Amino acid sequence: MAETGPKAAPRISFVSLGCPKALVDSERIVTRLRAEGYELSKTHAGADLVVVNTCGFLDSAKAESLNAIGEALAENGKVVVTGCMGAEPEDIRAAHPGVLAITGPQQYESVLAAVHEAVPPAHDPFLDLVPAQGVKLTPRHYAYLKISEGCSNRCTFCIIPHLRGDLVSRPAGEVLREAEKLVSAGVKELLVISQDTSAYGQDLRYAASPWRDGEVAARFLDLSRALGELGAWVRLHYVYPYPHVDGVLDLMAEGKVLPYLDIPFQHANAEVLRRMKRPAATEKTLARIAAWRARVPDLTLRSTFIVGFPGETEAEFADLLAFLEEAEIDRAGCFKYEPVRGAPANELPGAVPAEVMAERYDRFMRTQQKVSARRLKRKVGTRQQVIIDQVTPAGGIGRTRGDAPEIDGTVSVSARRPLRVGEIATVKIEAAGPYDLAGTAVGF
């Protein structure tokens, strides 16, 4: 590293893998490191140490994590590993015995201790080294807001409760103060995340905590309403479809939260859902979705599904395709079942052969593409609020209220004046593809 003065700050290269929840953990670690005087390096070669925040959910994610650790070791040599894969350190040690330390998810203090030991901080921390809202690894106009850790469900394909423990919610006042700081620092869109957003507060018995001149209960609806009063877009992710979720549709109708629900349904057939230990009332789900759409006609539904779950028959899979069509799921991610080590579902009989799984995956994607294209076509001719993520020579690339960053579609916007990143423009939609839209900014 080039010395720039008598006390050059140590430089850390940070790799963040995995889901938005892991990204929030990374942001917290990076914020602490910056507060302690560390600087960030864009390359491993120019850093004093590399921290790799791993994802260990699926075997493919584990492989990606192990590759990232290997690259960091080859390019730098000093590597600290944290995150979900750190909950089972033996795999990491077997592949890469040279890593300096391994810590598990949310073990912020242990990661920092490992960094301090390998590369001591250059000087005492000054709080003003970090902006009040912390260091965001996402662009400044949107930010992820983590409202709880862990999960008290026990879906049979999932080892997250084993890795991260049962649900632990943050007090509502604390979440709201973080959100308020983000908004005053320029964040225009808050992406609410957790493992199970609608279970928020159960572990706290919904206890109220101080907020502004009064109090706010640690309840999904109370928190969503209070977030909706901060003046930013509020997007709800990982909403498990408990009955009280219906109440959030009123907040959408009032314009307090975005008309968007990310609900991981995982399947539609009652038997498969039972084997997954998910709620199995698909009939009721369809009726509820119809009622939601009647209440909020521009509601966008995003979901994720697993194909090839152990014992999935052709008829059960056909139920899933029919559900996609009937529920008109706007955006859907599809995963082929992977036997994650330690997941109870691995014990179930009837493993689905890889070629059957691949064929079902293709049929799922073809059906989903048709539904998505049909839903998007209805937007042609309408005016949509579009948040601009990126400026281009022709205008910009943005997203409607129905599109989350990184996982959903985009809008290519033509504009006669320069657009700004983070601005919310009114756009007349002129064309629709299977996943994305195009249109022209209006009103100037």
Tell me how far, at minimum, the Cβ of 160 lies from ligand SF4, in Å: 4
Task: For residue 55, list its beta bridge partners.
Answer: none
User: Of these, 106, 133, 195, 202, which contacts ligand SF4 (CB under 6 A)?
Assistant: 195
Tell me how far, at minimum, the Cβ of 154 lies from ligand SF4, in Å: 6
Tell me how far, at minimum, the Cβ of 159 lies from ligand SF4, in Å: 8
Sort residue 216 into left (φ over 0), alpha (ψ -120 to 50) or beta: beta
- Check: CB of residue 121 under 8 Å from CB of residue 168: no
Q: Are strands 142-146 and 189-193 parallel, antiparallel or unpaired?
A: parallel
Burial class (CB in 10 A: 0-12, 13-18, 19+), 359: middle
Secondary structure letter of residue 10 according to DSSP: P
Residues 376, 178: Cα–Cα separation, whole Å: 34
Size of the site for ligand SF4 (CB under 6 A): 10
Instruction: Tell me whether residue 161 or residue 434 sits nearer to ligand SF4 (CB atom).
Output: 161
- Check: CB of residue 15 under 8 Å from CB of residue 29: no
Instruction: Tell me whether residue 84 or residue 190 sits nearer to ligand SF4 (CB atom).
Output: 84
Instruction: Tell me whether residue 21 or residue 44 sits nearer to ligand SF4 (CB atom).
Output: 21
Q: Is 273 in the site for ligand SF4 (CB under 6 A)?
A: no
The DSSP line for 148-217 is: EES-----TT--HHHHH-S-EEPPHHHHHHHHHHHHHTT--EEEEE-SSGGGTTGGGTT-EEEETTEEEE
Half-sphere exposure of 302 (CA within 13 A, CB side): 21
Q: Is 138 in the site for ligand SF4 (CB under 6 A)?
A: no
Q: Is 304 in the site for ligand SF4 (CB under 6 A)?
A: no
What is the token pair recorded at 410?
């985009």
Q: Is 160 in the site for ligand SF4 (CB under 6 A)?
A: yes
- Contact region with ligand SF4 (CB under 6 A), list: 1-9, 152-160, 211-219, 229-237: 152-160
Tell me how far, at minimum, the Cβ of 164 lies from ligand SF4, in Å: 8
User: Of these, 125, 161, 433, 434, which contacts ligand SF4 (CB under 6 A)?
Assistant: 161
Q: Is 196 in the site for ligand SF4 (CB under 6 A)?
A: yes
Query: Residue numbers of the site for ligand SF4 (CB under 6 A)?
Result: 151, 153-155, 158, 160-161, 195-196, 240
